[in-house]
Structure 1
């Protein structure tokens, strides 16, 4: 399984992306890439499903109309939630906020 870090490295190289807004624009046009990011091995504490692990989360809300991005530690939300209507913007935000983009 590919790691999220390696997948993001390939995205940077192939698409010459340097900013969060560029990544969000690419993801808004590429559902397959969104799926690959969500299923990549998140060795760097970026998660796309609710869990008890520490790290950064990008979660679709129960109403399925918005996405929440937050940091969780010891089962508690330690960083205020940002709410997004676009999945691509939420994913780009969690990737940049987590710092994995710069690793």
Structure 2
């Protein structure tokens, strides 16, 4: 009776560990799954690019405005990307 009582927890823990091993192999396959070229192409789509630009713009605005506001200046920082319509470079190229 005692032998069965010892084997049962060992069997259960073996099943749990085996299940975790199978799950970790599946997760490992999932991490290796996406093709780098596919990910690069997907990241260049309009929506991810817009989200990345907006996040970068907000971060740059905050990082420039924060020290000025800490010094007591009332600062308004506007960030524009050079390749966006309405930016200084776009206007300069349009004039030339």
Same fold by TM-score greater than 0.5? no
Q: Tell me which protein shows more helix as a share of its residues.
A: 2
TM range (shorter): under 0.3
Q: TM-score, normalised by structure 1?
A: 0.22
Which protein, 1 or 2, shows the higher relative CO under an 8 Å CA cutoff with sep ≥ 6?
1
TM-score when normalising by structure 2 = 0.23
